[in-house]
């Protein structure tokens, strides 16, 4: 086979192994048998007359040729996705084949807006496999989307660094009301809501120091400014909900969250009011990427927004600066 005729499948397998540095994990990510993936990598090496990986019983490492191929393979796969998106999933020799699973990051494993959109999309496209992932922070997830390791993510996209946002397309999903998570017994936990002014003098955790959640911390910093609300200092990131709850109860610090954040034992979640602060939630994906599951997600987001008024901010609500002059902003 001439290198000009390399199949995208072979490059996709190579990229997965190069990113995972593990054949079993790469095969699971692509939903193929490990033997088939190993066979594809060998076929690619034969086609290019190059050794791409050094394999031992303990590790898989890229060779110099593998490092040279990786950025080229990613560009070819992006171009292939753009071609597929431009002319439809049924074009070409793969017409009729089931699309590959779509990897959708929901941020956290629990209820919330992104989960609601995903479940509606699964109803709209029952023949597609939409797989949930939980990357905890759009800054990190957006980089994974741009690199092709995720397909779709949700979060405060306008808060991303412009360089990180540049390769991404986005769709507004909801102006999501914010809440505060309080340890049981906290003085503010007895009411039905928490006015923003009541947080003056409180030290509130909003992910400071977590490189995965820079967009969320930026939104919080803007919300807290001029209100006397203190940002909890950087601390080691608690991994998993049980550990997160334990650390939260131990420190006693309130935590900024969305109204859809899961309920946690030993904690009370209350909406913030006066004004109601909103986080502009968007869905993001790679520019030029096409997939029937993405179409279903967009249709689900549009339908839910219309049914539930997700994109109509309440009068007098607070929005971060880039959107304060949008519809209903204040």
CATH number of the domain encompassing residue 240: 3.40.190.10
- Give me the number of domains the chain comprises: 3
Q: Is the pLDDT assigned to residue 309 strictly greater than 90?
A: yes
User: Domain span at residue 238?
Assistant: 176-273
Q: Of 87, 111, 127, which closes a domain?
A: 87
The whole-number pLDDT of residue 74 equals 87
pTM: 0.69
Q: Is the pLDDT of residue 168 over 60?
A: yes
pLDDT at 265: 78
Residue 34 has pLDDT above 60, yes or no: yes
Write down which residue in 87, 119, 136 finishes a domain: 87
CA distance 13 to 8: 9
CA-wise closest residue to 153 among 212, 83, 220: 212
Mean pLDDT of the chain: 86
Are residue 263 and residue 214 in the same domain, yes or no?
A: yes
Interatomic CA distance for residues 95 and 127, integer angstroms: 15
Residue 167 pLDDT: 92
Q: Please check whether residue 92 lies inside any domain of the structure.
A: no
* Mean local confidence (pLDDT), 274-299: 94
* Residues 267 and 285 both lie in one domain: no
Beta bridge partner(s), residue 61: 54
Residue 266 or 250, more confident: 266
pLDDT of 235 above 90: no
103 neighbors 133 (Cβ within 8 angstroms)? yes
CATH number for the domain spanning 75: value is 1.10.10.10
Task: With respect to residue 248, please indicate whether it lies within any of the assigned structural domains.
Answer: yes
Kindly report, residue by residue over 12-21, the tens digit of the pLDDT. Answer: 899 889 988 8
Q: Average of pLDDT values for 159-167?
A: 93
Q: Which has more confidence, 57 or 247?
A: 57
Residue 133's CB: how many other CB atoms inside 10 A?
Answer: 17
Report whether 132 contacts 106 (CB < 8 A).
Answer: yes
Dist. CA 141–CA 137, nearest whole Å: 6
DSSP string, 6-66: --HHHHHHHHHHHHHS-HHHHHHHHTS-HHHHHHHHHHHHHHHTS--EEE-SS-EEE-HHH
pLDDT band at 91 (very low <50, low <70, confident <90, very high): very low
Compute the distance between CA of residue 151 and CA of residue 295 in angstroms, rounded to an integer: 12
For residues 248-269, give the mean pLDDT.
82
Query: CA 47, CA 302: separation in Å to the nearest integer?
Result: 45
């Amino acid at each position: 086979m001439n290198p000009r005729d390399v199949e995208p499948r072979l490059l996709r397998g190579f990229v997965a192994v190069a990113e995972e540095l593990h054949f079993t994990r790469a095969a699971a990510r692509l939903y193929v048998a490990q033997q088939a993936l190993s066979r594809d990598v060998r076929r690619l090496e034969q086609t290019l007359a190059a050794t791409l990986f050094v394999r031992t019983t303990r590790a898989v490492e890229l060779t110099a040729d593998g490092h040279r191929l990786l950025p080229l393979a990613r560009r070819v796969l992006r171009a292939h996705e753009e071609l597929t998106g431009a002319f439809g999933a049924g074009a070409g020799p793969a017409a009729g084949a089931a699309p590959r699973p779509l990897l959708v990051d929901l941020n956290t494993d629990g209820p919330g807006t992104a989960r609601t959109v995903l479940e509606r999309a699964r109803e709209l496209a029952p023949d597609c496999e939409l797989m949930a992932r939980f990357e905890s922070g759009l800054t990190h997830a957006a980089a994974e989307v741009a690199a092709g390791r995720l397909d779709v993510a949700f979060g405060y996209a306008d808060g991303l660094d412009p360089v990180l946002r540049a390769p991404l397309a986005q769709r507004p999903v909801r102006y999501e009301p914010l809440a505060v998570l309080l340890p049981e017994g906290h003085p503010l936990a007895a009411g039905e809501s928490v006015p923003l002014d009541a947080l003056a003098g409180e030290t509130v955790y909003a992910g400071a120091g977590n490189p995965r959640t820079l967009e969320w911390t930026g939104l919080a910093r803007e919300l807290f400014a001029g209100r006397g609300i203190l940002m909890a200092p950087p601390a080691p990131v608690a991994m998993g909900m049980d550990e997160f709850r334990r650390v939260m109860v131990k420190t006693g610090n309130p935590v900024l969250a969305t109204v859809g954040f899961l309920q946690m034992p030993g904690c009370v979640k209350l909406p913030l009011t006066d004004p109601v602060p909103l986080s502009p939630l968007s869905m993001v994906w790679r520019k030029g990427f096409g997939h029937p599951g993405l179409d279903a997600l967009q249709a689900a987001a549009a339908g839910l927004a219309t049914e539930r008024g997700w994109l109509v901010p309440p009068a007098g609500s607070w929005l971060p600066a880039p959107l304060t002059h949008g519809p209903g902003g204040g």
